[in-house]
Amino acid sequence: MINDALLSPRSIVVVGGSENVTKPGGKIVRNILDGGYDGDLYVINPGSSKVQGVAAYSSVDELPGDVDLAILAVAARFCPKLVEDLGQLKSVKAFIVISAGFSEEGHEGAQLEDALRLAADKVGASLVGPNCIGVITPRYNGVFTAPVPKLNAKGCDFVSGSGATAVFILESALPKGLTFASLITVGNSAQNGIEEVLQYWDESYQEGVSSRIKLIYVENIKDPDKLLKHASSLIRKGCKIAAIKSGVTEAGKRATSSHTGAMASSDSAVEALFRKAGIVRCFGREELTTVASVFMYKALTGKNLAIITQAGGPGVMLTDALSHGGLSIPQIEGADHDTLLAMLNPGSSASNPVDILATGTASQLGDVITYCDQRMDHIHGMIVIFGSTGLTRVYDAYEMIHEKMMECSKPVYPILPSVSSAQNEVAFFLAKGHINFPDEVTLGRALTKVHQTPPPAGDDIFMEGIDIQKIREIIEAAPDGFQSPDIVNNLLKAAGIPMVDEGVVSTRRQALRLARKMGYPLAMKVIGPVHKSDVGGVTLNIKSDAHLMAEFRRMKRIKGVDSVLIQRMITGMELFIGAKYEPRFGHVILCGLGGIFVEALGDLSHGLAPLTFNEAHSMVQSLKSYPIIQGMRGKQGINEQRFVEIIVRLSTLLRFAVEIKELDLNPLIGNADDVRVVDARILIER
């Protein structure tokens, strides 16, 4: 629980505070004092009567009255008893435990951490830490590190599972001009973790008062459902959230029993969770702080951008980064091109990027920005690259960018790269309350990250034509392990997922009878081996009785094969849908091109069951191979709506069948008319 005593204490005691500001206890006292805290501040230090001018006491019972918040910077072994004593004797209702030496150091430390949490719970107090750097709120600077940012109510709320990483993220953010409204580092999260902070942000959110930008650095997601619930709720209220989840696991090291098992991982679950919640996932400090900076500007209402630059190279690199991520830099032609070109010096370009050259003036820059904003409805935002040539100062250009940012109805993103040679001018610009993007490619990637992140998913579960009772009957009767074709077919049928016509045979007579009933051409596959192709267990395009019999005899000689599957051949594009159950997260669903392309391309999209149609559409459309799925270069695409429907139906099946631990539909064959499952494997484990 996060409470007022933690965030806005009227009184604070620092246990272990000292004169030595090179130690955590001393530095916390100094930061609280330097921050102008106006409440009652005390120190517990048996060897001093004053610490940095603050009254110091030898023990808990000597404190002159009750205290709201205690910050502990003493050896770990003393902390549980101190929490209990401070809570019982001085009514302390919030604790920040800076001390290390808990669960991060092994079994004994974990037992000490449990005792610490139990002590806080016993006295009904909020506990942050242990093993953290502290908390910064508008009320006080309760950290022992630097830098300590000057807070801004419109800045970012930031929660971090790592104190050191939080400091490095601040170091990345502050030179850009990015500001913060609060910082909470949760350390080992004995009581309050990332999820509890999100819950507090959600439940206390006030439109127009609370910060609308939330940043997260998380190393361990303990409660995915809670994170999903509160992150989605915040975003629906108008917030923007960006997060780093560290500790990516290589998929290939986790499982090899199926295609999905080999490709899915705990990181796939994180990817799917963030996507479902609407969180922009980042993979580094610069990316996180750049995405947060993008959040601070007006939102793009479309994907077309104009680049206005005084240097050709950065404009080209930015164009590449934006285009690669799905944003567009449309060519400027006709009257718009001619009008813009007439504003500029000879040799300039107005095609987009608009290159005003190093000789371009602040006035010309302003005219181009205004024209793009007011006269070009198909342009949704402008990016301005303007640095120093070293010949003249650029105050006038930066003042012009400031004025246009305030005037324009569309977002204007400033790239001011000369952070050394024009550092005074950049500081002048930041002082006006703006944020600078010093690198064009980093900005381009951040903009595309934001563009590609879908809104939070809905809560509805698609049930039409899905027989949940039948699914449960089949699951409960099925043995553990990979399932036989009849069980697989019955499960898919109960979910309304279409399969090609097929049948299982074990004799030549059965094979001939089924083949003549279905009609040629046919496909034949062995039943038994996990990877049929590896043992020569798949034959396609069988067109005669003789060919059928020859392949039947050959397959029956393969070790472990007692029967074969005969299917009607259909033509089209090979597709893939898979799923893997991840503890705590649920089923992660993957989709992409099928057959050999699953491993060869590694082009997969992830979702977390159950899925809505919007989520499934977003998954398919985020694939790099999506243009192939749509159809290109004269080749017909697939029935995308049918593919999406199968993904959604599968997600509902899995929602009510948690015993399914791995599932492969590979391939499905899709064409313009339909999509059908050709091969499927299901692993059940209870």
Q: Which CATH number fits domain 1-131: 3.40.190.100, 3.40.50.150, 3.40.50.720, 3.30.200.20?
A: 3.40.50.720
CB contact at 8 A, 31 and 148 = yes
The amino acid that residue 294 corresponds to is V
Question: What pLDDT does 255 receive?
Answer: 40
Q: Which residues, other chains included, contact 561 with Cβ-Cβ below 8 Å and sequence gap of 6+?
A: 526, 527, 528, 529, 537, 555
DSSP line for 56-94: EESSGGGSSS--SEEEE-S-GGGHHHHHHHHHHHH---E
Name every residue whose Cβ is closer than 8 Å to that of residue 335 and which is 6 or more positions away in sequence.
none
Q: Give the pLDDT band (50/70/90) at residue 254.
A: very low
Residues near 469 by Cβ (< 8 Å), separated by ≥ 6? none
Q: Can you give the pTM of this predicted structure?
A: 0.91
pLDDT band at 450 (very low <50, low <70, confident <90, very high): very high
What does the pLDDT look like over 347-381, one tens digit per residue? 999 999 999 999 999 999 999 999 999 999 999 99
Is 607 strand, coil or helix? Answer: strand
CATH code, 149-296: 3.40.50.261
Q: What pLDDT does 632 receive?
A: 85
pLDDT of residue 404 exceeding 90, the answer is yes
- What single-letter amino acid sits at 31? N
Are 643 and 675 in contact, with CB atoms under 8 Å apart?
Answer: yes
573: left (phi over 0), alpha (psi -120 to 50) or beta: beta
Q: Give phi and psi for 292, each to the nearest 5.
A: -60, -40
| Tokens representing residue 634 in the block | 């004269």
Q: Strand, coil or helix: what is 344?
A: coil
What pLDDT, on the 0 to 100 scale, is given for residue 370?
A: 98
Same fold, 1-131 and 299-434: yes
Instruction: Provide the pLDDT for residue 533.
Output: 75
Q: 378-395 burial, b if ≥16 CB within 10 A, otherwise e?
A: ebbbbbbbbbbeeeeebe
Q: Are 356 and 344 in contact (CB under 8 A)?
A: yes
CA 495 vs CA 91, 639, 650, 673: distances in Å: 57, 19, 7, 20
pLDDT, tens digit, 9 for 90 and up, residues 289-315: 999 999 999 999 999 999 999 999 999
Angle at 659 between CA 493 and CA 586, to 5 degrees: 100
Residue 212: Cβ within 10 Å count: 20
Q: Is domain 503-568 in CATH 3.40.50.300, yes or no?
A: no
What does the block give as tokens for 371?
A: 């024209």
Sketch the domain layout of the chain as residue ranges.
Answer: 1-131, 149-296, 299-434, 457-500+570-686, 503-568
Residue 509: is its pLDDT beyond 60?
yes
The angle, 0 to 180 degrees and rounded to 10, between the axes of the packed helices 440-452 and 285-295 is: 70
Q: Report yes or no: 186 and 193 within 8 Å, Cβ to Cβ.
A: yes
pLDDT given at position 253: 37
Is residue 579 within 8 A of residue 588, CB to CB? The reply is yes
- Residues 115-125, mean pLDDT to the nearest whole number: 98
pLDDT at 247: 76
Mean pLDDT of 614-637: 91
- Show the 3-state SS of 171-218: HHHHHHCCCEEEEEECCCCCCCCHHHHHHHHHHCCCCCCCCCEEEEEE
Cα gap 190→114, rounded to integer Å: 7
Q: Can you name the residues that pair with 683 across neighbouring β-strands?
A: 482, 662
Q: Are strands 586-593 and 605-608 parallel, antiparallel or unpaired?
A: antiparallel
What residue type is 508 in one-letter code?
A: R
Region 621-629: mean pLDDT is 92
pLDDT at 260 exceeding the cut of 80: no
Euclidean distance between CA atoms 549 and 544, whole angstroms: 9
**CB distance 120 to 133 below 8 Å:** no
What lies within 8 Å, CB to CB, of 8 at 6+ separation is 137, 138, 139
Q: Judge whether 43 and 13 are in contact, CB under 8 Å.
A: yes
Quick check: helix, strand or coil at residue 385? strand
> How many other CB atoms sit within 10 Å of the CB of residue 685?
10
CB-CB contact of 353 with 308 (8 Å): yes
Q: Residue 386, CB half-sphere, CA atoms under 13 Å: how many?
A: 32
Query: Is the model more confident about 657 or about 602?
Result: 657
Q: To 10 degrees, what angle do helices 545-556 and 508-518 make?
A: 140
Residue 248: pLDDT band (50, 70, 90) is low
Please state, in angstroms and rounded to a whole number, the distance separating the CA atoms of residues 320 and 88: 62
Between CA 493 and CA 378 the distance in angstroms is 47
Mean pLDDT of 218-246: 96
The answer to whether 416 and 426 are in contact (CB under 8 A) is: yes
Q: How confident is the model at residue 264 (pLDDT cuts 50, 70, 90)?
A: low
Alpha carbon distance 154, 296 (integer Å): 9
Token pair, residue 347, equals 């040799």
What tokens appear for 434 in the block?
């703006």
Say yes or no to pLDDT of 252 above 50. Answer: no
pLDDT above 90 for 633: no
Confidence band (pLDDT; 50, 70, 90) for 532? confident
pLDDT band at residue 635 using 50, 70 and 90 as cut-offs: confident
Burial (0-12, 13-18, 19+ Cβ within 10 Å), 158: buried
What are the tokens at 329? 């830099």
Mean pLDDT of the chain: 94
- At 164, list the tokens: 């050191």
Q: pLDDT for 636-662, tens place per residue?
A: 899 999 999 999 999 999 999 999 999
Percent residues over pLDDT 70 in the chain: 97
What gap in Å lies between CA 579 and CA 582, rounded to an integer?
Answer: 10
- Please state, in angstroms and rounded to a whole number, the distance separating the CA atoms of residues 151 and 448: 28
The closest alpha carbon to 428, from 385, 396, 404, belongs to 396
Q: What is the pLDDT of residues 170-200, one digit of tens each?
A: 999 999 999 999 999 999 999 999 999 999 9
> Backbone phi, then psi, for 371, in 5-degree steps?
-65, -45
Cα separation, 99 vs 129, in Å, equals 8
Give yes or no for a contact between 523 and 541, defined as CB atoms under 8 angstroms apart. Answer: yes
Q: How far is Cα of residue 544 from the mean position of the Cα atoms in its chain?
A: 53
User: For 299-434, CATH number?
Assistant: 3.40.50.261
Averaged over 261-282, what is the pLDDT?
A: 84
Residue 266 confidence (pLDDT) above 90:
no
* Fold (CATH) for 457-500+570-686: D-amino Acid Aminotransferase; Chain A, domain 1 (3.30.470)
Contacts of 473 (CB under 8 A, 6+ apart): none
pLDDT at position 409: 97
Across 455-469, average pLDDT? 95
Express each pLDDT in 1-57 by its tens digit: 899 999 999 999 999 999 999 999 999 999 999 999 999 999 999 989 999 999 999
Structure tokens at 451: 């563009």
Q: How would residue 634 be classed by pLDDT, with cut points 50, 70 and 90?
A: confident
Indicate if the pLDDT at residue 392 is higher than 90: no
